[in-house]
Amino acid sequence: MTNPVESIRKKRDGEALSRPELEELIRGYVRGDVAEYQMSAFLMATYFRGMSEEETLVFTDLMLKSGEVIDLSSVPGRKVDKHSTGGVGDKVSLVLAPMVAACGVPVPMISGRGLGHTGGTLDKLEAIPGFQTRLTLDEYRGVLLDVGAVMVGQTAEIAPADRKMYALRDVTATVECLPLIAGSIMSKKLAEGIDALVLDVKTGDGAFMESEEKAIDLAQKLVAIGTRYGKQTVAFVTEMDQPLGFAVGNWCEVVESVECLRGRKVRDLMEVATVLGGAMVWLGGKASSIDEGMRYCSTAIWSGKAYEKFLQLTARQGGDTAPLRDPALYPRPSYSIDVVSPASGYIASFATRQIGILAIDLGAGRKKIDDGVDPKAGIVLKKKLGDRLEKGEVFAVVMTDNQQAGSHVVAEMQKCVGVSQNHFQPPPRIRRYIDANGVRPWTTPIIH
Ligand code: URA
């Protein structure tokens, strides 16, 4: 039996840990023998010292084996999921899962809660009254069979080490670390019974990997791990220099997603959702190329099938579909406060990470493990990068029940927008495509 203090010391001093040492640490943590403060110290040491490639693989494998690998062989078809490394206003999963399921590809999706300054799909789904994200494995299979998609959180059976560690990383500033992200994402994804995986690796101010170079490195490592486990895995590096879409918060993001499922064209959100969705439909064997898969996804939207699928999924998981059909039925925040621009010009930057942090200040995310979230809290932008903005014009609305937090966030939001006197052309949203054959720029759809 190894001593956790010894393993923490070794990592602190930059040494690589062996499989038995990592195993003892992870198993001990799940059992409760390694204390939260010891795991916090280990995570911080890893944040500074990193892990070797071999250690990252072992770490991922141990996280995966802390629970079960779900058997979905009773569900016909190739099962495909997508996972994002996390962003601000990243509501892609809410649009994508029903859209891809409507194309006939089963989507078993296990998501997380808010992490660091980013939002989490689970918190968004739980903003829908009654929506159950805690299902037993039998219920998980049952919903997938009935609806063609299922959206849940980790259970005690699915990578429980990640479930515990994820919550701890969220409140110990240990998120932005490549091996920890790789282990966290891939352990969950490899456990959920999929055949193929699409990864959305974000880059930019609002992403954990700010530089494109680091995002590509992470994408390559995630693809390599997936491939090694026999799952067809592809990744896209996508931009996170502004919130995706307009809404940042839980319920307001659900509303925006439903609007998109009903045909609203929020360009950046729908571009990312359609490209990732196209890749999922192709990997699911229902299209001969990503391009063709993208066309099927667009059809699923305009035909209304994707929207119907989301209503069906919500109802099947215990959620109330009435406020999805009519958002006016949802409780309103006590305060909705306009944020006006301090200057005129073209929007050349958003402090995206800071906007994510401000949404947490409003109550949309957690500062401590056991904090609750307020589904009504959030920020809705009125403008995107490159848009013209006049001094005194409203560019965002802050929503909260907490008046003091609201005033603070309104003042801070004014500093989150940068204007230029020159036209500003926003950068492309989808930067790279990565698969087992390497990295390619993403310019036009890839025909396979
Ligand atoms: N998503 C995850 O599931 N884990 C991370 O560490 C980052 C994003």
Choose the residue to mutate in 59, 81, 83 for probing ligand 1, maximizing ligand atoms within 8 Å of C-beta.
83
Give the distance (Å) from ligand 1 centre to CA of residue 236: 16
Instruction: Tell me if 309 sits within 8 A of 107, measured CB to CB.
Output: no
Give the distance (Å) from ligand 1 centre to CA of residue 404: 31
Ligand 1 pocket residue status of 186, Cβ below 6 Å: no
Q: What is the model's pLDDT at position 448?
A: 44
Q: What is the model's pLDDT at position 445?
A: 56
What are the C-alpha distances in Å from 174 to residues 76, 373, 393? Answer: 39, 21, 38
Q: Kindly report each contact of residues 27-36 with a partner whose C-beta sits within 8 Å and lies 24 or more positions away, as own/partner.
A: 27/62, 27/66, 28/4, 29/161, 29/164, 29/165, 30/66, 30/160, 30/161, 30/164, 34/4, 36/168
* Other residues' Cβ atoms within 10 Å of the Cβ of residue 392: 10
Give the distance (Å) from ligand 1 centre to CA of residue 299: 31
DSSP 3-state percent helix, strand, coil across the chain (nearest 5) = 45, 15, 40
Give the distance (Å) from ligand 1 centre to CA of residue 209: 12
Ligand 1 pocket residue status of 114, Cβ below 6 Å: no
Q: At what angle do helices 53-64 and 19-31 cross, to 10 degrees?
A: 30
Query: Using CA atoms, how far apart are residues 258 and 289, in angstroms rounded to an integer?
Result: 27
Query: Using CA atoms, how far apart are residues 78 and 9, in angstroms rounded to an integer?
Result: 44
Q: Edge-to-edge strand order for the sheet containing 378-381? A: 247-249, 378-381, 394-400, 335-340
Q: What is the model's pLDDT at position 38?
A: 97
Ligand 1 pocket residue status of 184, Cβ below 6 Å: yes
What are the C-alpha distances in Å from 250 to residues 209, 368, 371, 384, 423? Answer: 23, 18, 15, 20, 32
Question: Which residues, in sequence order, are bridge partners of residue 234?
Answer: 198
Nearest CA to ligand 1 atom 1: 85
Q: What is the model's pLDDT at position 44?
A: 98
Query: Using CA atoms, how far apart are residues 24 and 7, in angstroms rounded to an integer?
Result: 9
Longest CA span, the chain: 66
Choose the residue to mutate in 175, 187, 197, 240 for probing ligand 1, maximizing ligand atoms within 8 Å of C-beta.
175
Nearest CA to ligand 1 atom 8: 85
Ligand 1 pocket residue status of 242, Cβ below 6 Å: no
Q: Which atom of ligand 1 is closest in space to residue 184's alpha carbon?
A: 4
Ligand 1 pocket residue status of 118, Cβ below 6 Å: no
Query: Using CA atoms, how far apart are residues 307 and 68, in angstroms rounded to an integer?
Result: 32
Nearest to 176 by CA among 44, 59, 88: 44
Place of tokens 């406020």: 323
Residue 412's Cβ-side half-sphere holds a number of Cα atoms within 13 Å equal to 19
H-type helices in 205-351, by residue range? 212-228, 251-261, 267-283, 290-302, 305-316, 322-325
Instruction: Tell me if 86 sits within 8 A of 352, measured CB to CB.
Output: no
Question: Which residues, in sequence order, are bridge partners of residue 421?
Answer: none
Residues of the chain with pLDDT under 70: 1, 444-448
Choose the residue to mutate in 60, 64, 85 for probing ligand 1, maximizing ligand atoms within 8 Å of C-beta.
85
Question: Which residues, in sequence order, are bridge partners of residue 247?
Answer: 380
Query: Using CA atoms, how far apart are residues 369 and 355, in angstroms rounded to an integer?
Result: 21
Give the distance (Å) from ligand 1 centre to CA of residue 154: 12
Q: Which atom of ligand 1 is closest in space to residue 118's alpha carbon?
A: 8
Give the distance (Å) from ligand 1 centre to CA of residue 344: 38
pLDDT digits (tens, 9 = 90+) for 165-175: 999 998 999 99
Q: What is the model's pLDDT at position 447?
A: 44
Give the distance (Å) from ligand 1 centre to CA of residue 420: 34
Choose the residue to mutate in 84, 115, 172, 221 for probing ligand 1, maximizing ligand atoms within 8 Å of C-beta.
115
Place of tokens 């997380």: 112
Catalytically active residues, by annotation: 83, 162, 169, 184, 188
Structure token digits, residue 10: 């070794």
